[in-house]
């Protein structure tokens, strides 16, 4: 069985049970589909393992990517040759765990609002 199939089964088992129990937890129906993903991100050891493995793979690949000629973005061509490398990432759900906010939205039946 492929690793992706195994991961899919693990994710499904972590997500389907909480969603089925969402009504008992008094989660608004409009937010029940999000409950499993929030719980998985907050509680599943698999989530932490997947996140660590992705960051480890990126860390391992970085030296080779930096050494490859032309690997820099076109916008970096104007920078001095000795400019330090930069890694640019998305903040939400990449570097910042915003699952507490997502849980709040699920529990209150609210949707994302920029001011919150």
Q: How far apart are CA 65 and CA 45, in angstroms?
A: 30
User: Tell me, what's the pLDDT at 57?
Assistant: 92
The CA-to-CA distance between both ends of the chain, in Å, stands at 43
> What would the pLDDT profile of 75-104 be if each residue is shown by its tens digit?
566 677 777 777 778 888 888 888 899 888
DSSP-assigned states of every residue in 88-110: ---SBTTTB--HHHHHHHHHHT-
> What would the pLDDT profile of 21-78 be if each residue is shown by its tens digit?
554 566 777 777 788 888 888 899 999 899 899 989 988 988 887 777 666 555 566 6
Q: What is the pTM for the complete model shown? A: 0.56
């Amino acid at each position: 069985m492929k690793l992706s199939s195994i991961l899919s089964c693990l994710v499904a088992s972590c997500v389907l049970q909480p969603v089925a129990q969402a009504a008992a937890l008094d989660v608004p129906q409009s937010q029940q589909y999000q409950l499993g993903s929030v719980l998985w991100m907050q509680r599943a050891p698999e989530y932490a393992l997947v996140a660590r493995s992705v960051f480890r793979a990126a860390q391992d690949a970085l030296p080779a990517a930096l050494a490859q000629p032309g690997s820099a973005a076109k916008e970096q061509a104007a920078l001095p040759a000795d400019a330090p490398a930069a890694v640019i990432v998305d903040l939400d759900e990449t570097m910042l765990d915003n699952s507490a906010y997502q849980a709040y939205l699920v529990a209150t039946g609210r949707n994302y609002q920029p001011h919150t």
